[in-house]
Structure 1
Amino acid sequence: MDDARRWIPYCGEAPGPSEWLGRWNLDPVLLAALALLALALWWPGAKPRVALRWAWALAVLLYVSPLCALSSAFFTVRVAHHMALVLAIAPLAAFGLAPRRVPLWTSTAVATAVFWLWHVPAPYAAALSSNAIYALMQLSLLASATVFWMAVRRAAPAAAMGAILVTMVLMGLLGALILFAAQPLYEPHIASTLAWGVSPLEDQQLAGLLMWAPGSLAYLAAALAIGWRWLQAERGLKAA
């Protein structure tokens, strides 16, 4: 199989600058799944689940809009997709679903391992050459991150902050490894950015920086928010 046909991911071939805005993903299976979810979330008489509705809207943006096709061209956009899954859709799902008690440190380890696994070059390349493996990548990232945020939601503040900070450091480490790699690591993107005047190494470096800086800041903000609520609760108890 030649390289031109080998790397055709779920979102389609990498688009050029003149065509990507018209590249909407109209996969009937995806659209049917999103329609069923919409019925469940907006059915008359159903209890409002605002967080889940926002998660649904973000999923539409990621997988139906031209951003899906753009992620075939840029590793940076693919990384942004993955970060949106674990830092936006997953926490929204965790807070919209019924709370469940799950082991905090086990879920932290699993979510981190899954995120690292899919950014190892070989598994990543496999996901971009098979729709089934791509679906596995997306679902495992979302599921593991959702369980992690569920665990954070139910954990004591100090433990929750600790788990978030550990996850932040490990994501930052992965981002730094990608950023400072001396050569392109991700074979599906060796030529996918050239039409945009961007080299694969530049694309990879930007992706690593995105994972390292904004990703770490998002986890830090979550930890600080928990710490602030904890402090306010302690002040309230002392005042009482």
Structure 2
Amino acid sequence: MSEMRDWIPYCGAAPGPDAWLGRWNLDPVLLTALALLALALWWPAASAPSPSSARPRTALRSAWGMTALLYVSPLCALSSAFFTVRVVHHLALVLLIAPLLAQGLTHRLAWCRMHPPLWTCTALATAVFWIWHAPAPYAAALSSDAMYALMQGSLLASATLFWIAVRRAAPAAAMAAILVSTVLMGLLGALILFAAAPLYAPHFASTLAWGVAPLEDQQLAGVLMWAPGSLAYLGAAVWIGWRWLRAERGLSAA
């Protein structure tokens, strides 16, 4: 039980199966930030948006909605119980929210018109993701709100920068960077999946109330990172390749 008392992450102590649905995160700082962002995203709707701004605004609104789902709903508390749910959070940050932010911000902010170095951004995003899934940094993030904020913020920022660089890069280079990210995501997932013992101290006891061994929880998280995580990157590469092929065919026909 000492382990359970020691680990009180940002989303609160790990809930049991009878309590998690009532565990909404009502952190006033988070709710205030979300409310201010909602005003910024929905207030301009009073004026007729231009066709060119409609899609970026939709992307930013979708990112806002997913952020609220991850950090306000009971999924936040459930991520204190299961490493698997924490991995789902992180995959949603880097593979869903970050691309949406990249799409929205690229059309809105002047600095996004620059071309960030693709391979530097790829290395940065990969390094940040690997660092926070090492046992010691992960445990530190679940023992301090400041470290948790640093973990979440750095994952989102580095991934957003990566997707902005991908959007600005030539198609061949963008696909290459995504494929490298696919391999490295799969490698990290495989290392977690095939670890012989539980690695993540905050979850050594938190899964037991659910009848799940911590190693089983960790293995499922590794599978999610290895398969769906890698496939999401691969899907992005295929989409870029398809659009590139269409553009080339269009030029040939002209």
TM-score norm. by structure 1 comes to 0.98
Unaligned runs of 5+ in 2: 107-111
Q: CA deviation at 1:6?
A: 1.6
Q: For structure 1, list consecutive stretches of 5 or more residues without a partner in the other structure.
A: none
Structure 2 match to 1:214? 228
**Which of 227, 231, 235 is the aligned partner of 2:245?**
231
| 1:97 partner SS | helix
Say whether 1:131 aligns with 2:139. no
Deviation digits for residues 181-213 of structure 1, max 9, x if unmatched? 000000000000001100000000000000000
Counterparts of residues 138-157 of structure 1 (less than 5 Å):
138-157=152-171
Residue 75 of structure 1 pairs with residue 83 of structure 2? yes
Q: Spell out, residue by residue over 1:157-185, the C-alpha distance to the aligned partner (whole angstroms, 9 max, x if none).
A: 00000000000100100000000000000
Partner of 2:100: 92
Supply the distance in 2 between the matched residues of 1:136 and 1:62 (Cα, whole angstroms). Answer: 16
2: CA distance, partners of 1:84 / 1:112? 15
What is residue 54 of structure 1 aligned with on the other side? 62
> Does 2:122 match 1:108?
yes
**In the aligned structure 2, how far is the partner of 1:117 from the partner of 1:3?**
23
Determine the C-alpha separation between the residues in 2 that align with 1:13 and 1:74.
Answer: 11
Q: Which runs of 4+ in 1 moved over 4 A?
A: none
92-101 vs 140-149, which moves further: 92-101
TM-score after normalising by structure 2 = 0.93
- Could you tell me whether the CA contact under 8 Å between 2:3 and 2:204 is conserved in 1? no
Count of matched residue pairs: 239
Q: Give me the whole-angstrom Cα distance separating, in 2, the residues matched to 1:66 and 1:3.
A: 22
Percent identical: 79
SS in 1 for 2:25: coil
1:177 aligns with 2:185: no
> Which residue in 2 is equivalent to 1:118?
132
> For residues 179-198 of structure 1, what are the structure 2 equivalents within 5 Å?
179-198=193-212
Query: For the residues of structure 1 that align with 2:233 and 2:248, how far apart are their CA atoms?
Result: 23
